[in-house]
Amino acid sequence: MSTYTLLGALEIGLIFSLVALGVYISFRLLRFPDLTVDGSFPLGGAVAATLIASGSDPFTATIAATVAGACAGFITGWLNVRLKIMDLLASILMMIALYSINLRIMGKPNVPLIAEPTVFNLLQPEMLVDYVFRPLLLVFVVLAVKLLLDGFFATQTGLAIRATGSNARMARAQGVNTGLAVLAGMALSNALVGLAGALFAQTQGGADISMGVGTIVIGLAAVIVGESLLPSRKLYLATLAVILGAIVYRFFIALALNSDFIGLQAQDLNLVTALLVTVALVLPRLRQRNAGKKGG
């Protein structure tokens, strides 16, 4: 693989590590199986690309995309908490609703960003080429997000959200408004996904209505790969693991796509991901069963 491909894989891996952090918050911390992600990722892209294309400042556009993601997550949470719709179903409803909403926002199936400014080319110093600078900037963004998350989940409010996911009955008995905690956690999770979508659109030359397909599976794959690379229940290690998982996962995909002898093409990506997640889900159980056999 060339340096160019490697840096490209790192770049996308870093962007998807934001998705993975979001998925970690919903699936692991809140134990809320949330498929909204498949809609909030393109939502972030759509909002950012549309705003930038209409002349907005890319930073404002990126923040707007993050807020839009938060709103999507909030609504999914609300469907579940207030309307008592089953969590998975609530997120599926939100996901398909977002398909229409995203089309409305963009007004067409895709919004290209070619000559428009992005957060990347605005910040890029003279001496660095774009494909080196983008992953570099993303490393800082992802690290900052990670540290902020670690900090937040160590605060009283963050602890209340974690307790809600771990043992809601106990959390309520300690005076935690668990409904509100779910709303906040879901908003935070999808805000990160919206941010990822906005950054993705700005690195990939625009937003596309189908850019969200399979986001959730990629996010989950990253979480699972990360957890098997670096198993730890400590939060700061777990968030690090999730980020590493997203990057490693992306490298594998790049490797698979670039090895002629395997003969994989871009359209096989989702199949590869699904297989990878299946293996990652089954492996620990197989290992456990074997351990059990040896013991017994």
Partner 1 sequence: MLKAQDLRLTFNPGTPIETQALRGLSLEIPSGQFVTVIGSNGAGKSTFLNAVSGEQRVDSGSIEIDGIDMTRQPVWVRARHVARVFQDPLAGTCEDLTIEENMALAKMRGQRRGFSFAVKPALREAFREQIATLGLGLENRLSDRIGLLSGGQRQAVSLLMAALQPSRLLLLDEHTAALDPRTADFVIQLTARIVAEHKLTTMMVTHSMRQALDVGERTVMLHQGRVVLDVSGKEREGMDVHHLLEMFEKVRGEALDDDALLLG
Piece in contact with partner 1 (CB under 8 A), picked from 36-44, 134-142, 173-181, 212-220: 173-181
Report if residue 155 touches partner 1, rule: CB under 8 A.
Answer: yes
Nearer to partner 1, 157 or 210 (CB): 157
Residue of 257, 233, 256, 229 lying closest to 243 (CA atoms):
229
Q: Which stretch binds partner 1 (CB under 8 A): 92-100, 156-164, 184-192, 203-211?
A: 156-164
Tell me the CA end-to-end span of the chain in Å, nearest whole number: 47
Q: Smallest Cα–Cα separation from 184: which of 201, 171, 198? A: 171
Question: Cα separation of 120 and 131, whole Å?
Answer: 10
Judged by CB under 8 A, does residue 233 bind partner 1? yes
Q: How far apart are CA 232 and CA 216, in angstroms?
A: 22
Q: Is residue 162 part of the contact set for partner 1 (CB under 8 A)? A: yes
Q: In the bound complex, what is the minimum distance in angstroms from residue 179's beta carbon to partner 1?
A: 9
Which is closer to partner 1, CB of 109 or CB of 151? 151
Residue 177 vs 210, nearer CB to partner 1: 177
Q: Provide, rounded to whole angstroms, the least separation between the CB of residue 210 and partner 1.
A: 36
Min dist. Cβ of residue 152 to partner 1 (A):
8
Q: Interface with partner 1 by CB under 8 A: which range of 13-21, 73-81, 176-184, 189-197?
A: 176-184
Angle at 204 between CA 203 and CA 207, to 5 degrees: 110
Residue at 277: amino acid letter: V
Q: Which of 107, 125, 175, 295 binds partner 1 (CB under 8 A)?
A: 175
Indicate the DSSP class of residue 27.
I
Nearer to partner 1 (CB atom), residue 124 or residue 172:
172
Closest approach, Cβ 243 to partner 1, in A, equals 20
What is residue 83's three-state secondary structure?
coil
Of 61-69, 161-169, 186-194, 220-228, which part binds partner 1 (CB under 8 A)? 161-169
Q: Residue 201 is inside which H or E element, if any? A: helix 178-203
- Closest contact distance (angstroms) between CB of 197 and partner 1 is 27
In the three-class reduction of DSSP (H, G, I as helix; E, B as strand; rest coil), residue 205 is classed as coil
**What residues contact residue 133 under an 8 Å CB cut-off, 6+ apart?**
120, 123, 124, 125
Q: Which helix (H) or strand (E) holds 257?
A: helix 235-258
Nearest distance in Å: CB 194, partner 1: 22
Q: Which residues bind partner 1 (CB under 8 A)?
A: 151-152, 154-160, 162-163, 165-167, 169-178, 233
